Amino acid sequence: MRPLLLLAASLLLAGEAVPLPPGVIARVGSAEITMPQLTQALLKREGSDALLNWVQGHLDGLAWEELNDDAVVMAVGGHLLKKRDLALMLIKDKGAKVREELIDISVVEQAVAKAGIALDDALLAAEFRLMERDFQRRIAATGQGHVDFASFLRVKEKLSVEQFLAQPAVRMLAGIHGLVRRQIAGEYDDARLQAKLDAERARWDERASVDLAVMHMPWKRDAAGKLTPEEQARLQGVVNLLHRQIAAKEVTFAKAWEAFGKAWDASGPGGRVGWVDAEGRRTDETARRIPKPLVERAFATAGPYPVLLNPHVHEAGIDLAQVLGKRPARAVTLAETRDRLIQDILERELEGRTKALVATLRSEASIVYGSLPEAAR
Report the candidate in 365, 350, 328 with the shortest Cα–Cα distance to residue 129.
Answer: 350
CA dist., res. 156 & res. 331, Å (int)? 43
8 Å CB contact between 281 and 293: no
User: What per-residue confidence (pLDDT) applies to 376?
Assistant: 40
CA dist., res. 44 & res. 211, Å (int)? 61
> Which CATH number does the domain 206-327 belong to among 3.10.50.40, 3.40.50.2300, 3.40.50.10740, 3.40.50.740?
3.10.50.40
8 Å CB contact between 34 and 40: no
8 Å CB contact between 237 and 217: no
| CATH 3.10.50.40 domain span(s) along the chain | 206-327
User: pLDDT, tens digit, for every residue of 242-255?
Assistant: 999 999 999 999 99
Give mean pLDDT, residues 3-22: 55
What dihedral do alpha carbons 12, 16, 18, 22 form, nearest 10°?
Answer: 50
Report the percentage of the chain scoring pLDDT > 70: 93
CA dist., res. 276 & res. 318, Å (int)? 18
CB neighbours of residue 331 within 10 Å: 11
Does 334 score more than 70 pLDDT? yes
DSSP, collapsed to helix, strand or coil, labels residue 140 as helix
Q: The pTM is what?
A: 0.66
8 Å CB contact between 335 and 162: no
Burial track 223-247 (b if 16+ CB lie within 10 A, e otherwise): eeeeeeeeeeeebeeebeebbeebe
Does 339 score more than 90 pLDDT? yes
Average pLDDT, the chain: 86
Does 295 score more than 90 pLDDT? yes
CA dist., res. 142 & res. 159, Å (int)? 24
8 Å CB contact between 146 and 138: no
Amino acid at 28: V
User: pLDDT, tens digit, for every residue of 348-370?
Assistant: 999 999 999 999 999 999 988 88
8 Å CB contact between 176 and 358: yes
User: What per-residue confidence (pLDDT) applies to 333?
Assistant: 97
For 20-147, where are the alpha helices, taking DSSP H only? 35-59, 83-115, 121-141
User: What per-residue confidence (pLDDT) applies to 4?
Assistant: 42
